[in-house]
Amino acid sequence: DDPRNPAVIADLVGDNVGDCAARGADLFESIAAEIISAMILGGTMAKQSKLQNPIGFIMFPLVVHSLDLVVSAVGIMSVKGQASKTKSSYDIMKGGYSVSIFLAAIGFIITCRTLLYAESAPNAWMYFSACGFVGIACSYCFVFISQYYTDYKYAPVRKIADASATGHGTNIIAGVGVGMEATALPVIVISIAVTAAYWFGKMSGLEDDQGYPTGGLFGTAVACMGMLSTAAYVLTMDIFGPIADNAGGIVEMSDEPESVRAITDELDAVGNTTKATTKGYAIGSAALAAFLLFSAYMDEVSAFNGEKFDMVDIAIPEVWIGGLLGSMLVYLFSAWACAAVGNSAQDVVIEVRRQFQEKPGIMNYEEMPDYARCVSIVAASALKEMKKPGLLAVGAPIAVGVTFRFFGQLTGQTMLGAKVVAGMIMFATVSGILMALFLNTAGGAWDNAKKYVELGAHGGKGSEAHKASITGDTVGDPFK
């Protein structure tokens, strides 16, 4: 954050764009997808269960997310106190999150009793409340897991810092190892949450004409709403990250005393943890929402073709190929996204070197760097470089579906295109969850390992360990 660096403002702008606007868009997508799919599943379940008034089941998602605004606002206003040796800034924010979680649980019970009561199954609202508690517990678990793997108070980040003392390569190896390990607990939490919510929904007592339970899928939808019932507060924690990061940059650029920088460094480290927490939270909520969207996809295919479509058989070679293509899609998309960051970074480095050569007075503060030039290069390059990944995500399912639809017509396999796309979506979702957890956690852990070294560990700033940790942080940025 040296003011002589022509790219320093681009870095500050990038923090706002990436961790405020982008995370908001990510969570908005998860919330919108979950609301729409939950409304579809609620209406479908009410129709199958012959409920006289399905409005409550359809409106339930909208009411829950309106409640989110209230409980999150109260949680934010409850955040008070000052950090100390025994209580960090993150602990204070987590206290406000606990308030929001508590209020969300109470609101969930009231909302379920009001909107999800059915005379044919008088206890159904209790089971759906339990589904909501499953989602809320899942959300809380994700916050703690993300903190454990990205906060320098815990072993994983310190392990990376220790590895930095022996070189750049060992830093990278340790970071990759931590990222891979960090996929285990979230996947277990998601698995337990989906299973528990599904069976709580099934036990609600709602049945169709043949006596089959109909509440399973809606139960998972309610769990997803429970997880997102404090989304506004979590997004607020995320935005704390770039605010603290930019504050540290301003302190360094304005040549404030080292004692001030020490405070902003600690806040910046907390911000890195909150950013990683929010990314993990967004991944978990997207995983639950994707399960709902997959079910809604099969319902829509059934309605469109007039044939029952409630099962995907991966033993069919074409469906398995679709799954393989879906998994590949995640890795190819990630590769292109990382390459896009690398190409943009190269353009900025070339521009910075050009300015240093043409304006030698920058180094002794006699000339002003052209900050705007670097900002415009990054903005234009980002839009240009993300064309390929964007087209890949949109075009691949269409191309696969159309191709296998015609192949199915030639081989007499009805609905083959829809089945292959279902396999593709299913495998891509599973691979995407794991890839996202790995990239997010490794990036956050590398970043805070650098902060830990800068606070004095392994020789502090300027040491060989610090240089190695900077390499890890540089790799971690495109990962995130």
Q: Express each pLDDT in 315-324 by its tens digit.
A: 899 999 999 9
- CA 286 to chain centroid: 7
Contact 453, 161 (CB under 8 A): yes
Q: Which residues of 204-219 are buried (b: 16+ CB within 10 A; e: fewer)?
A: bbbbeeeeebbbbbbb
Tracing tokens 């109260």 back to the chain, one arrives at 74
Contact 250, 264 (CB under 8 A): no
Cα dist from 435 to 137, 287, 293, 455, whole Å: 23, 12, 20, 30
**Count of CB atoms situated within 10 Å of the CB of 136:** 24
pLDDT at residue 469, rounded to an integer: 93
Lowest mean pLDDT among 27-31, 39-43, 132-136, 431-435: 27-31
Mean pLDDT computed over 262-279: 80
Residue 240's pLDDT band, with cuts at 50, 70 and 90, is confident
Bridge partners of residue 121, in order along the sequence: 118
Residue 205's pLDDT band, with cuts at 50, 70 and 90, is confident
pLDDT at residue 291, rounded to an integer: 76
Residue 448 pLDDT > 90, yes or no?
no
Report the C-alpha gap between 410 and 256 in whole angstroms.
73
The phi, psi pair for 319, rounded to 5°, reads: -65, -40
If phi > 0 it is left, if psi is from -120 to 50 it is alpha, else beta; for residue 118 that is beta
Mean pLDDT computed over 451-462: 86
Contact 231, 289 (CB under 8 A): no
Lowest mean pLDDT among 181-185, 268-272, 369-373: 268-272
Residue 275's pLDDT band, with cuts at 50, 70 and 90, is confident
Name the residue type at position 35: I
pTM of the model: 0.85
> How is residue 301 annotated by DSSP?
H
Contact 246, 253 (CB under 8 A): no
In a 3-state reduction of DSSP, which class is residue 212? coil
Q: What element of type H or E holds 234?
A: helix 231-253
54: tokens are 């399905």
